[in-house]
Chains A and B, each alone.
Chain A
């Protein structure tokens, strides 16, 4: 039967909610700590400020741009660069669900082609897919920036490495195949393998669980899984203890990559 103070209560509730949300927002970093690693090989910052600036040739290899969120979902572009040119562009993330499926399937192939043709982020927007196009261009630009930052020969996360420019060199050419993303309890896992001469020469995870404890587990387990995949040459690899879900997702995605490479 205590006296109630509705106004005081409302002011307190508002103040507590607003300050709680502001606190949460301010605790989040401005850039994803995991993204820097994903850029691969992360060259020292000095390289980005080299006198050649934007004119510096982009490094060979594959590079994944930042995920750019749009109203309909995130867009993330991955480029394959060879001989300083974009040889391939693909969207590893694009808006999904509902109407978005349709818009994505119509616009993304066009954008991929345009990126390869233009060799830069200066591409036209696909009509009816304004948001996706804008996000695509932003992610593409960030991929190009990263490729430049990674710098000259051998600097990239490349599939070619020393074999630079050998992309069309007959039967022995290296192919990169990306498996389907496997959903795990902690986030999706997606594996990309480089196959050369019928063998896996390289395996890497392009998507892994992120955030909180997952960062630690991922950085511990993924290199082991990559090595195991190359050694085994198949998806029949042991799970890393303490990373059961990630291992299971990895194996699943690896199998799908192998299936694609075989077919």
Chain B
């Protein structure tokens, strides 16, 4: 729980001893993914003795794109398996961006694969490019597992189409999410044709073992971390809504009780995906940060009522069952590399900052919180922030619009004026994308190195 250390050099040294920044495993992971891709290309290389003519080259290109697509497909699923090393060390936001990027790339590879293979087969059968549709029908009806593969690929294309930015924004989140879950079916359906018709797997039994291993491991991780782990978590902790408190107009806190909640391993700055088992809310799960350090009997989230789901939170009855998955997120004390920390919150982005403000170890004057809101009435949780600041000798600042609606000046100069040694701070930041971008630029201008600005963004 809260540790408040008295000022002085001894206390600072003690704090510094505890700061051991953990490096994100992103680079080694990306290297491993690259090595796997090279292995897949080698598989093609070693099982292809020669390419006699253009037709063979087209088919070979189709096989390469198919193999890479099959390999990446497994990784795209793996990125969403909620593996703790990814969610808590690399960061859920970054992994979600990887997922979106590699998903787009994989679908592009699948398009290229289908086109090249069918074109190559059509040429081999003495037909022209114009007969590619006819060739596709022939292949689907005659080759083993191709019916399944065609269904899966069609499904994949529908999912990809619905995930294109403008289309996705027009869909309700829950609807989009549930369609997106069909990716599992698509991957399952397309898997089999890789094994039965894949030239490389027929020639090389070791390759088949490798492929089964890859998909087997991913399946096991998905089952374990997306199903078994949440079931165990919720059976063990049995969470319920304890109370709903209106903090400011439009911002509510939900208190959640449960058993031995400190054993969930949640840290300040992390979030859970919450599902409230109340009518109309059962089928949607939303990520909300903890707005206070977890207590053995109580968790708290604080949410701004902007959407459909968030508005309904206000009407939650105490006693409602809660299904939570987590903890996720890497915006925690482990990112810290310096004694001095600046926390920057924009609007409801205060929630994880509030938890960090309370729990980050530090001597008096080490921790500063800068809180940006539209007006002083919108400064949710201000009372308790002031109390924490008082107790631990931390600095608390706010920036609100002037009465005529003018935005406050948050620039490199103003930051340097208010916090002269800002360039020697670690900065944790949470807020809307536009705000985060402008503060990021101001911080960089004030001399804070990029590696010390820690930010979580769920924008794709």
Interfacial residues, chain A to chain B (CB-CB below 8 A):
1-2, 9-10, 13-14, 17, 21, 24-25, 28-35, 69-73, 96-99, 130-131, 183, 185, 187, 210-212
CB under 8 Å from chain A, chain B span 413-437: 436-437
The reply to whether A98 and B144 form a contact with Cβ atoms under 8 Å apart is: yes
The reply to whether B142 and A25 form a contact with Cβ atoms under 8 Å apart is: no
- B97's nearest neighbour on chain A, judged by CB, is A4
Contacts of A183 in B (CB 8 A): 205
6 further contact pairs, Cβ within 8 A, besides A31-B50, A183-B205, A211-B49: A1-B436, A17-B65, A70-B124, A71-B125, A98-B196, A99-B144
Contact of A35 among B41, B49, B203, B205 (CB under 8 A): B49
B48 at the interface (CB under 8 A from A): yes
Contacts of A33 in B (CB 8 A): 49-50
Q: How far is the CA of A2 from the CA of B457 in the complex (A)?
A: 12
- A4's nearest neighbour on chain B, judged by CB, is B97
Contacts of B3 in A (CB 8 A): none
Contacts of A13 in B (CB 8 A): 105
Dominant secondary structure of chain B at its interface with chain A:
helix
B57 at the interface (CB under 8 A from A): yes
The reply to whether B64 and A185 form a contact with Cβ atoms under 8 Å apart is: no
Contact count A vs B, C-beta below 8 Å: 82
Q: How far is the CA of A69 from the CA of B57 in the complex (A)?
A: 12
Contacts of A210 in B (CB 8 A): 49
Q: How far is the CA of A14 from the CA of B65 in the complex (A)?
A: 12
- A21-B64, A21-B65, A187-B203 given; A71·B121 CB < 8 A: yes
Contacts of B101 in A (CB 8 A): 9
The reply to whether A25 and B144 form a contact with Cβ atoms under 8 Å apart is: no
Q: How far is the CA of A97 from the CA of B195 in the complex (A)?
A: 11
Contacts of A29 in B (CB 8 A): 50-51
Which residue of A2, A13, A21, A30 has the most chain B CB atoms within 10 A of its CB atom?
A: A21
The reply to whether A21 and B124 form a contact with Cβ atoms under 8 Å apart is: no
- A1-B440, A21-B61, A187-B203 given; A30·B51 CB < 8 A: yes
Contact of A32 among B49, B64, B455 (CB under 8 A): B49
The reply to whether B453 and A1 form a contact with Cβ atoms under 8 Å apart is: yes
- A28-B60, A70-B124, A131-B125 given; A211·B52 CB < 8 A: no
Contacts of A25 in B (CB 8 A): 51, 57, 60-61
The reply to whether B142 and A99 form a contact with Cβ atoms under 8 Å apart is: yes
- A1-B436, A30-B52 given; A97·B65 CB < 8 A: no
Q: How far is the CA of A69 from the CA of B455 in the complex (A)?
A: 54
- A31's nearest neighbour on chain B, judged by CB, is B50
- B439's nearest neighbour on chain A, judged by CB, is A1
CB under 8 Å from chain A, chain B span 196-242: 196, 202-206
Contacts of B64 in A (CB 8 A): 21, 24
- A30-B50, A72-B143 given; A97·B56 CB < 8 A: no
Q: How far is the CA of A28 from the CA of B453 in the complex (A)?
A: 48
Q: How far is the CA of A131 from the CA of B47 in the complex (A)?
A: 22
Contacts of B121 in A (CB 8 A): 71
Contacts of A69 in B (CB 8 A): 56, 59, 124
Contacts of A187 in B (CB 8 A): 203-204
Q: How far is the CA of A197 from the CA of B203 in the complex (A)?
A: 37
Rank and list the top 7 A-B pairs by shortest CB-CB distance, nearest first: A98-B144, A32-B49, A1-B440, A32-B50, A28-B51, A211-B46, A71-B121
Q: How far is the CA of A185 from the CA of B144 in the complex (A)?
A: 24
9 contacts between A and B (CB under 8 A): A1-B436, A10-B104, A21-B65, A24-B64, A32-B49, A35-B50, A69-B56, A71-B121, A131-B125
Q: How far is the CA of A99 from the CA of B141 in the complex (A)?
A: 10
Query: What's the nearest-Cβ distance from chain A to residue B36, in Å?
Result: 15
Contacts of B39 in A (CB 8 A): none
Contact of B139 among A10, A14, A71, A73 (CB under 8 A): A71
Q: How far is the CA of A40 from the CA of B52 in the complex (A)?
A: 20
Query: What's the nearest-Cβ distance from chain B to residue A222, in Å?
Result: 17
- B197's nearest neighbour on chain A, judged by CB, is A97
- A22's nearest neighbour on chain B, judged by CB, is B61
Contacts of B104 in A (CB 8 A): 10
Q: How far is the CA of A71 from the CA of B46 in the complex (A)?
A: 20
Q: How far is the CA of A131 from the CA of B135 in the complex (A)?
A: 13
B283 at the interface (CB under 8 A from A): no
- A1's nearest neighbour on chain B, judged by CB, is B440
Q: How far is the CA of A70 from the CA of B56 in the complex (A)?
A: 10
The reply to whether A34 and B49 form a contact with Cβ atoms under 8 Å apart is: yes
